[in-house]
Amino acid sequence: MDLLSTIEAFPNVGPLEDLDRAWKWSLNPVLHFAGALTSDGTRLFQTNQRGKHDESLARAVLTFARDREKQLIGGGRFIGYAAGFELPGYAFDAVAAAVPDVHGHHRAQNPDLTAVTYIVFPACACEFSGRETLAEAEARYTKMLHPAEIGREAVPFVKMSFDNPRTGGGSNYPGRALTYPRILLQEIPQLENSPGGFVEYENREGNVWRIEWAGTWLLSAESGRREMSLEEVLSFAEASLR
């Protein structure tokens, strides 16, 4: 396909200032897009913004993506990421890139364009493990991270399984599955007075901890087991996801 002519046919398209081979366009007052060609000109880095719009952020993300191109899309990951991003006024410390199979943009109107488009977005390094399966990457991108919202808060990566005989709550799947940090922090206190119950979770680095109640709070890992207060357990769990 002729990538240049395809992009230049977008509605309301125009050059993105201060970045070569880059454009901006919009579909309506709510949805704003910007894109830049990769170094060889055969693929498109695209960034999307919904609602609140900041062209300087879009430009910074695309510039960073170009500088870290191999790291973002060269490792065979479904969501690649590169740490070290900075822009005053934002807490993001990374840029992520979703592959075509994950994002699916342009599929209805131009599937050939989908195949060469990588959606890049500002992110936090704590949100990715680098080991996401295709299904996990799709869940992160489409449901959990809200990558087009530039005012969003970080959603650290965590996978969890749990069982609570007292409340009847527990996992409906084998092994650990993606969840939100707030769910992890909500379930831990519920273990009190629930012998045999547990919460097991995994952070982005693949470290695994198990929390149980046995008259006191027990935190277990490969390095051993220790007693802690509930406040200490919650503080440890939250810090271990960052």
Q: Per-residue pLDDT for 1 more than 90? A: no
Q: Which of 180, 110, 93, 100 is nearest to 134 (CA)?
A: 100
Enclosing H/E stretch for 163 = strand 159-164
What φ, ψ does residue 232 adopt, rounded to 5°?
-70, -40
Q: Per-residue pLDDT for 66 more than 90? A: yes
pTM of the model: 0.94
Q: Per-residue pLDDT for 123 more than 90? A: yes
Distances in whole angstroms, Cα of residue 186 to Cα of each of 11, 75, 199, 238 = 46, 35, 11, 11
**Per-residue model confidence (pLDDT) at position 48:** 98
76-107 pLDDT tens trace: 899 999 999 999 999 999 999 999 999 999 99
**Per-residue model confidence (pLDDT) at position 235:** 98
Which residues partner with 98 through β-bridges? 79, 119
